[in-house]
Every structure is written in structure tokens, then in C-alpha cells.
Amino acid sequence: MGSRLARVALTGVTALTMAVPAGCGGGSSNEAGSGAGGSSSGVTGSVTVFAAASLTESFTTIGRDFEAANPGAKVTFNFAGSSALANQINQGAPADVFASAAPKNMQSVTDAGNADGTPATFARNQLVIAVAKGNPKGVKALTDLTRPGLKVALCAEQVPCGAAATKALTTAKVKLTPVTLEQDVKGALSKLKLGEVDAALVYRTDARAAAADVEAVEFPESAGAINDYPIVVLKNAPNRTAARAFVAYVRSDQGTSVLTTAGFQAP
């Protein structure tokens, strides 16, 4: 009898297993990032930032700069798909700041009354076709992705990169059957890096961050599916002062410059 219960529990637990991404702490850097911008004295303690997976590289840099400008502060990141993050926040995860890759996921947080103030758009991002280095399959346009035998990874429609992909494909009237729907943009990219797919629709920033392994093919239809990235301080932020300082820093000239270097467009 006991073993039956154990088995049932095993099945149930496994079914519900969710990959909760580990937070990624930024090390402190002694680079002089001080000067004008969002740096304000008196910002101390730890700030927990829930940020879209596509912000991984740029926010890690911004976090380091922010810590350098505010020696008493420590920024901890949780990077994942925006919808997963919105869910975690609405289920009571103790976060200070939420940076989403799309207004839709931000809205589920504001609708639930979990935002402090109105979200501000701090960056915009555009899709590209990521292909293996050297573009061995000669992909030049969105229509090339429908070629038989060409394997394509998309993001699931629930996450912003998937929603943008659907929008771009619909605009271009391209009917595409992907082999997989990944849960965030990094998942689609790693399937490409592993060589399991020939192309993936990802953000320009992700392709740029993975420039060692992948090449980006720009396509005109992506202009119709540009994603706005909103950021907000959360209502239950354990460290509201530092959270506000971090958001200000992201939107400052220094923050914007890190983001544009990564391939984002300024809002």
C-alpha cells in the first residue's frame, strides 16, 4: 500500500516538476562606473531582479556596474522566460524588480496588483533568423525556413519571443512547422548551438551574444513584431529603495549604452 502511494506521488511530483532557474549573482567589479546617471549614495542591501532570459548578458553587465557605483548594494538575478517569471511573482516570489520581454507578461503582474507604479519601457528588441556559423544552409529570408528538411526551433507562443515569431510569420504569410517550441529564447538558441536545428527565430541580442557559434540573418518582417521591454519595481519589494535605484540605473545613459551595445534599440 505504501509503495503504491509512493509511486503515485512520484508520478505526480515529476509531472509538476518545474525548472526553477537558479539566480545568477554578479561579481563585484572595481571598474569605475561612477559619475553621472542613476548612481546614488545610500543604496545598500541586496536587490533581486527577475529578468527575461534575453536580458541575461546585458543585465549581468548592468548589475556589475550598478554594484560598482553603489558599493553597499548586491544585485541577484533570476533569468527565465517572462511568463514563468510573471507566474513566480504572482505566486509571491520575493523579488524587487521585474523586467519583462513583453508588455503582455508585465500586464499579468500589474493586473494582479503586484507592481509599484507604472512600468516603463527601457529597451526594444527585434527578431532575427539565427543560423549556424557560415550559414551552411544558405538561409536568406523567412520563406527559406519552410524548405523541406530544414529544422527550425521557435519559442512557445506563451513567451514573448514566440509571440513575436508568430506575429512576424503571420505578417509575412509564411506557414512554418517548427520541430520544437522552446520555453525561452535561450532554449531555442541552444538547440541551434547543439546543431539539432538548422535555424531558430531569436532576438538580435541573443544572436549577438552567441556570435561565436551563430550568425544572424535579418529579415524585414521582424520590423512588424518589435518587442517592448517594460521594467517595474514590485509592490512587495523587500528592498524598495535599492529597487528604484536599480530601475533608474537601467534607464540611465550608462544602462542604455550597455543595452544598445548588446543589440537592443533604445525606447
Partner 1 sequence: MTSTGAHDTAARPEPGRPPRRRRAQRVPAALLAPALLGLLFLVLPLAGLVVRAPWTSLPQRLTEPGALTALRLSLQTATAATVVCLLLGVPLAWLLARARFPGRRLVRALVTVPLVLPPVVGGVALLLVFGRRGLLGEWLDATFGFSLPFTTTGVVVAEAFVAMPFLVIAVEGALRGADARYEEAAATLGAGRWTTFTHVTLPLVAPGVAAGAVLCWARALGEFGATITFAGNYPGVTQTMPLAVYQTIEGGDLDGAVVLSLVLLTVSVAILAGLRDKWITSA
Binding-site sequence positions for molybdate: 54, 82, 185, 203
Residue ranges of the binding site: 54, 82, 185, 203
Which set of grid coordinates corresponds to residue 121? Answer: 519601457
Which residues neighbour 4 within 8 Å (Cβ) at sequence distance 6 or greater?
A: none
135 near 217, Cβ under 8 Å? yes
Task: Note whether 32 binds partner 1 by CB under 8 A.
Answer: no
Closest distance of CB 72 from partner 1, Å: 36
By CB under 8 A, the residues from 59 to 88 that bind partner 1 are 81, 83-84, 86-87
List, edge to edge, every strand of the sheet that includes 127-132: 180-182, 152-155, 199-203, 127-132, 214-217
Question: Applying CB under 8 A, which of residues 33, 38, 63, 178 lies at the interface with partner 1?
Answer: 178
Closest CA to 97 of 64, 48, 52: 48
CA distance 261 to 185: 19
Nearer to partner 1, 17 or 30 (CB): 17
Smallest separation (angstroms) from partner 1 to the CB of 191: 7
Instruction: Write the DSSP symbol of residue 265.
Output: B
Interaction of residue 4 with partner 1, rule CB under 8 A: yes
Q: Which stretch binds partner 1 (CB under 8 A): 36-44, 46-54, 192-200, 210-218?
A: 192-200
Q: Does the footprint of partner 1 cover residue 17 (CB under 8 A)?
A: yes
Point out which span in 31-39, 63-71, 151-159, 207-215 binds partner 1 (CB under 8 A): 151-159
CA–CA gap between residue 206 and residue 197 (Å, rounded): 16
With respect to partner 1, which residue has the nearer C-beta, 83 or 222? 83
| Smallest separation, CB 266 to partner 1 (Å) | 29
CA–CA distance, 243 with 211 (Å, rounded to integer): 32
Dihedral sign (CA 177, 181, 182, 183):
positive
Does position 260 bind partner 1 by CB under 8 A?
A: no
CA angle 107, 113, 117 (to 5 degrees): 80
CB of 155 or CB of 262, closer to partner 1? 155
Identify the residue among 73, 130, 159, 214 touching partner 1 (CB under 8 A). 159
